[in-house]
Structure 1
Amino acid sequence: MGGPVLQAERRSVRELEGLAYELRAKLLRLCGTYEGAVHIGGDLSAADLLTALFQRAMRVDPGDLANPARDRFVLSKGHAAVCMYIAMAIRGFFDYDDIVATYGQLDSAYGMHPCKVQLPGVEASTGSLGHGLPIAVGMALGARGRGEDHRVFTLMGDGETGEGSVWEAAMAARSNELGNLVAVIDRNRQLMTSFAEERVSFEPYPDKWRAFGWNVVQVDGHDMAALADAFDALPPASSDRPTVVIAETVKGKGVDFMERNLAWHAGSLGAEDLKRAIVALEHAYAKEID
């Protein structure tokens, strides 16, 4: 038997902006306490997207994880796991202090990449890039076969869309008319050691998705009002075209010395750098809401 009908959170844009700031601040504090490297650049670029997804777009209930009506989420860019963990903690799935206390340790539920076996509420174990969209296609196809009307969301980095498996999955999604599938692209235009277009010719990027038959939405990935509008206006899950939301983002967003800086794909923060980062974030947030 199914659980109760689920509704998405209806957070206001101002609330979402505040929650995204909270997410970034908690990311920085974890980065300042963890002894190893955190994928902080891509975490910061995805913070607004994950906030909008968990606090506005998706029908989920942290207290009813097995409800078949729940929307599913797959973090294809699995190296941004800590950003997802904190986003979920803010939504009520986990306790932030538990993440900080155990992140990256042996046998911790909060690994550097997410593991569904270790952590209830995580729908798929990910980390090998290019796998998230194929997994999400299978989930969406299975939902259709069972007559369920939930959506399946996946968050990908633009770099991983250079993988052939992504485009095989994109073709399969359109061929099977999976309008219940939503791919969100964190289009920060950076890879681990270079800027994206230096290695792979992605442009004309939206046209590539259109050529595969997808509904394409282009949005500023740091404009919370635009993100809210984009997710609110998604076609019905019963429609016959999958949707890709191409979100233009900035790697390291919110911390001036990290933004578009290749050195901050991953790293750790000492005490002084943490202070600098928090001050920079506070200034960026104050400017955003002014």
Structure 2
Amino acid sequence: IALYAALIEAGVLPEDELETYGTDDSRMPMSGMAAYTPGMEITGGSLGHGLGIAVGMCLGLKRKQSDSFVYNLLSDGELGEGSTWEAAMSAAHHKLENLIAIVDFNNQQADGPSTATLSSEPVTDKFEAFGWHAQRVDGNDIEAVRAAFDIARGLKEPRPRIIVCDTRMAKGVPFLEARDITHFIRVEPHEWTLALEALEKGRPQ
């Protein structure tokens, strides 16, 4: 849904279409579809595809001698997919310094905590062992994330980079933060008001 918001800001999708998110025949399904979502270049949904696609894009850019970066956002659940680690190994082998991966490590999956479903720890050590430059930061600290991106982009080493972001879902809304399962979160009508009040209260003056 964050990508849909970005596409709306870019003028690719109309804002009022957000009301259709996740409904039948919507151009904004829960997982984007390249076939009928404007601005969507690939079809997502199944875990483990993203990093492999990013590796292919990086290889193509290097052959074109482009200095562009490819950014790939992964969930911590995707670290349980074998294809992710095949892509990680391939990225290091091809010295893809134009690849910056970000892991949203919120410890939530549909089946419960990702660390309980299939632990991927120690994440940074594993990526380092695969030949990546790895950092780990508080993903809810925007300045820390920004600094990590500056480091990743500024590296001169010919290897891929990854930033593992430890995040808390519904950050800033205490009663939602405390819920055991927030992967598919249901917010009741009266809770929207409480959530907005909590966010307003926590906003810097």
Q: Determine if the TM-score, normalized by the shorter chain, exceeds 0.5.
A: yes
Distance change >3 Å, CA 260–CA 167, structure 1 → 2: farther
Q: 1:272, 1:124 → 2: CA distance?
A: 36
Deviations 1:165-205 (A, max 9, x none): 11000000000111111110001122223222222232222
What does residue 83 of structure 1 align with? 2
Equivalent position to 1:226, from 122, 126, 144:
144
Greater alpha carbon shift after TM alignment, 275-284 vs 137-146: 275-284
CA contact (8 A) 1:181 1:237 kept: no
Deviations 1:195-220 (A, max 9, x none): 22222232222101100000112221
Q: 1:237, 1:116 → 2: CA distance?
A: 33
1:112 Cα deviation after fit:
1.2
Helix, strand or coil: the match of 2:177? coil
Q: 2:10, 2:157 → 1: CA distance?
A: 28
TM-score scaled by length of structure 2:
0.90
Q: 2:178, 2:159 → 1: CA distance?
A: 33
Bigger relative contact order (CA 8 A; separation at least 6): 1
Greater alpha carbon shift after TM alignment, 226-235 vs 158-167: 226-235
CA contact (8 A) 1:157 1:185 kept: yes
Deviations 1:95-135 (A, max 9, x none): 322222x3223332211111122233223110000111111
Q: 1:247, 1:283 → 2: CA distance?
A: 25
CA contact (8 A) 2:108 2:182 kept: no
The number of aligned residues is: 205
CA contact (8 A) 1:149 1:238 kept: no
1:93 Cα deviation after fit:
4.1
CA contact (8 A) 1:129 1:160 kept: yes
RMSD of the TM alignment (CA)?
2.1
What does residue 106 of structure 1 align with? 24
What does residue 83 of structure 2 align with? 165
Q: 1:237, 1:108 → 2: CA distance?
A: 42
Percentage identity across aligned positions?
39
1:268 Cα deviation after fit:
3.2
Helix, strand or coil: the match of 2:101? strand
Helix, strand or coil: the match of 2:175? coil
- Where does 1:187-266 land on structure 2 (aligned, <5 Å)? 187-235=105-153, 240-259=158-177, 261-266=179-184
The unaligned stretches of length 5 or more in structure 2 are none
Q: 2:178, 2:65 → 1: CA distance?
A: 44
1:179 matched to 2:121? The reply is: no
Residue 269 of structure 1 aligns with an amino acid whose one-letter code is: V
What does residue 131 of structure 1 align with? 49
Q: 1:94, 1:238 → 2: CA distance?
A: 38
Q: 2:54, 2:194 → 1: CA distance?
A: 39
Residue 97 of structure 1 aligns with an amino acid whose one-letter code is: D
Equivalent position to 2:15, from 75, 85, 96:
96
Distance change >3 Å, CA 201–CA 267, structure 1 → 2: closer
Residue 122 of structure 1 aligns with an amino acid whose one-letter code is: M
The unaligned stretches of length 5 or more in structure 1 are 1-81
CA contact (8 A) 2:108 2:181 kept: no
Distance change >3 Å, CA 174–CA 201, structure 1 → 2: same
